[in-house]
Amino acid sequence: MEIENIVRKTIIDLKPYTPGKPIEEVKRELGLDEVFKLASNENPVGPSPKAIGAINTVLNNLNRYPDASCFYLKEKLAKFWKLDIDNFIIGNGSDEIIALTLKAFLNPGEEVIISNPTFLMYEILAKIEGAVLKVVAMKNFRYDLDAIKKSITDRTKIIFIANPDNPCGTYVNKKEVEDFVKGISKEIVLFFDEAYYEFMDVVDYPDTVSFINERPCVVSRTFSKVYGLAGLRVGYGIATPEVIQCLGKVKDPFNVNSLAQAAALSALDDQDFVQGVVRLTKNGREYLFKEFKRMDIEYIESYTNCILVKIGDKSGELCEYLLKNGIIIRNMAAWGLYDYIRVSIGLENENEKLIVLIEEFLKKEEKEK
3-46+272-368: which CATH topology? Aspartate Aminotransferase, domain 1 (3.90.1150)
Query: 314-340 pLDDT, tens per residue?
Result: 999 999 999 999 999 999 999 999 999
pLDDT above 70 for 1: no
Residues of the chain with CATH 3.90.1150.10: 3-46+272-368
Query: 114-132 pLDDT, tens per residue?
Result: 999 999 999 999 999 999 9
Measure the CA angle with vertex 160, ends 156 and 161; round to 5°.
135
The pLDDT value recorded for residue 369 is 67
Count Cα neighbours of 217 within 13 Å in the Cβ-side half-sphere: 17
Distance of alpha carbon 129 from alpha carbon 110, whole angstroms = 10
Distance of alpha carbon 180 from alpha carbon 137, whole angstroms = 16
The pLDDT value recorded for residue 298 is 98
Output the pTM of the full model: 0.96
If you average pLDDT over residues 246-260, what whole number do you get?
A: 97
Residues of the chain with CATH 3.40.640.10: 49-270
Query: 175-212 pLDDT, tens per residue?
Result: 999 999 999 999 999 999 999 999 999 999 999 999 99
What is the CATH number assigned to the segment(s) 49-270? 3.40.640.10
Judge if the upstream peptide bond of residue 44 is cis by omega within 30 degrees of 0: no
Q: Average per-residue pLDDT in the chain?
A: 96
Partnered with residue 306 across adjacent β-strands are 344
Confidence of residue 2 (pLDDT cuts 50, 70, 90): confident
